[in-house]
Amino acid sequence: MIQQFEATGVHLSMREQLMMIEVENDFAKATITPHGASVLSFIPKSGNTSGQDLLWVSDTAVYTGEKPVRGGIPVCWPWFGVSQEAGLPAHGFVRNRVWHLDSVRNLDAGVTEVVLMLESDDASLAIWPHAFRLELKIEIGTELVMTLITHNLNDHDIEVTEAFHSYFTVSDVESIEVEGLAPSFCYDKLTNADPVEQTDVLKIAPPIDSVFIDQVGLVKIKDAQLRRAICIEKGNGRSSVVWNPGPEIIKGFADMPNDAWPSMLCVEAGNVLQNAVWIPSGEKHKFIMKLYVEDV
């Protein structure tokens, strides 16, 4: 029970087969599930969109534990995208594992911190033969701050790619502009064309599946209809990914309604492709994403 934690404004519930950690403080409300260590809701209490969820979750998402919940912010690790080995899940395996709820506490200034942990076991070693410990710190305040710490428990170095696969709610995806991706190099995963330099604001025209390499600056999702910009900052992250399936590709997703694509946009922060991270034996790597809203 949550009484074991020194925190106020936090309680546990169940949605079908999945535990939910519900957090509310003076600044925001949030919902987190240990299944995949996914943040499923973040609702600020101030600004033009006070009371509105920044995150998008599919109306047909699955809560049985058989697969990741479609939406929110799942953790992609230790690989991003399609595995180099046939038969392994896309975006790694930790987004479909149940993480341990390690601690919940109130920090200074009224911010709430939730810490989830996951360690290698026989099942993970059969898929990816490296020992690890992951720690995910989630801070809920005026900002949502997620810190993923990878501990290399091996006697050898490891290479990982990683991302917070954030699904955001938007008014109309075709009216959205994403600022801050330049300068970077853009890889179009739909065409597999040679990378091109990103030099300007990105205007969303679905379908889109683009990876922006060596991109380190502040990214803003500008939504004129909602009069807000969702701001994404990274620490120790050098990649961004923008994804929306559009009206045809979405038909291949059983856990997404066919008409859902205009209301969502993934803008993901991470280290992918040639921005992969090497972690020496016995060392750790920390990756941070910070989300907040500006009125526009």
Q: What CATH number should be reported for the domain holding residue 78?
A: 2.70.98.10
**pLDDT-based confidence at residue 3 (cuts at 50, 70, 90):** very low
For the segment 172-211, what is each residue's pLDDT rounded down to a tens digit? 999 999 999 999 999 999 999 999 999 999 999 999 999 9
Record the tokens describing residue 135, joined without a space: 């720690």
Q: Is the pLDDT of residue 268 over 80?
A: yes
Q: Is residue 65 part of a domain?
A: yes
CB 171 within 8 A of CB 223: yes
Q: Is residue 180 part of a domain?
A: no
Q: Alpha-carbon distance 208 to 212, whole Å?
A: 12
For the segment 64-84, what is each residue's pLDDT rounded down to a tens digit? 999 999 999 999 999 998 887
Q: Is residue 177 part of a domain?
A: no
Annotated active-site residue 268? The verdict is: yes
The per-residue pLDDT of the chain, averaged, comes to 96
Q: Is residue 102 part of a domain?
A: yes
Beta bridge partners of 283: none
Q: Alpha-carbon distance 276 to 182, whole Å?
A: 20
**Given 113, 162, 233, 268, the catalytic residue:** 268
Q: Is residue 110 part of a domain?
A: yes
Q: Is residue 282 part of a domain?
A: yes
CB-count exposure of residue 256 (10 Å: 0-12, 13-18, 19+): buried
Count of the separate structural domains present in the chain: 1
**Given 91, 151, 165, 285, the catalytic residue:** 165
Q: Is residue 49 part of a domain?
A: yes
Domain encompassing residue 36: 2-168+247-267+277-295
Q: Is residue 51 part of a domain?
A: yes
- 3-state SS, residue 153: coil
